[in-house]
Amino acid sequence: MRLGARWAEDGPQAGYFPFYIALLVCISAAVNFAMALTNRADAGRDFVEREKLRLVAAVLVPAAIYVGAIGWTGIYVASAVFIAFFMRWLGKYAWWKVAAVSVGTMVAFFLIFEMWFKVPLPKGPLEELLGLG
Partner 1 sequence: MDELQALAHGFAVALSFKNLALMLVGIVLGVIIGVLPGLGGANGVAILLPLTFSMAQSPGGTTSAIILLSCIYWGALFGGAITSILFNIPGEPWSVATTFDGYPLAQQGRAGNALTAAFTSSFVGALVAVIVITFLSPVVAKFALEFGPPEFFAVYLLTFCAFVGMSKEPPFKTLASMMLGFALAAVGTDPVTGALRLTFGTEKLLNGFDFLVAVIGLFGIGEILLTLEEGLEFKGARARINLRVVLDTWKELPRYWLTSLRASAVGCFMGIVPGGATPASFMSYGVARRFSPNGERFGTGQLEGVVAPETAAHAAGTSALLPMLTLGVPGSPTAAVLLGGLLIWGLQPGPLLFVEQKDFVWGLIASMYLGNIAGLVVVLTCVPAFAAILRIPFSVIAPVIVVICAIGSYTVHNSIFDVWMMVVFGVAGYAFKKLAYPLAPLVLAIVLGDRAEASFRQAMLVSQGDLTVFFENGLVGTMTGLALALLFWPLAAWALGRMRSR
Residues between 25 and 54 that touch partner 1 (CB under 8 A)? 25, 28-29, 31-32, 35, 47-48, 52
Considering the rule CB under 8 A, would residue 65 count as an interface residue with partner 1? no
Residue among 81, 107, 17, 93 at smallest CA distance from 3:
17
Contacts of 109 (CB under 8 A, 6+ apart): 76, 79
Contacts of 74 (CB under 8 A, 6+ apart): 121, 122, 123, 124, 125, 126, 127, 133
Q: Print the binding letters for residues 95-114 with partner 1: x by CB under 8 A, - otherwise.
A: ------x---x---x---x-
Contact indicator for 87, 101 with CB cutoff of 8 Å: yes
Count of residues interacting with partner 1 (CB under 8 A)? 55
The residues that touch partner 1, with contacts defined as CB under 8 A, are 3, 7-15, 17-18, 21-22, 24-25, 28-29, 31-32, 35, 47-48, 52, 55-56, 58-60, 63-64, 66-67, 70-71, 75, 79, 82-83, 85-87, 90-91, 93, 101, 105, 109, 113, 117-122
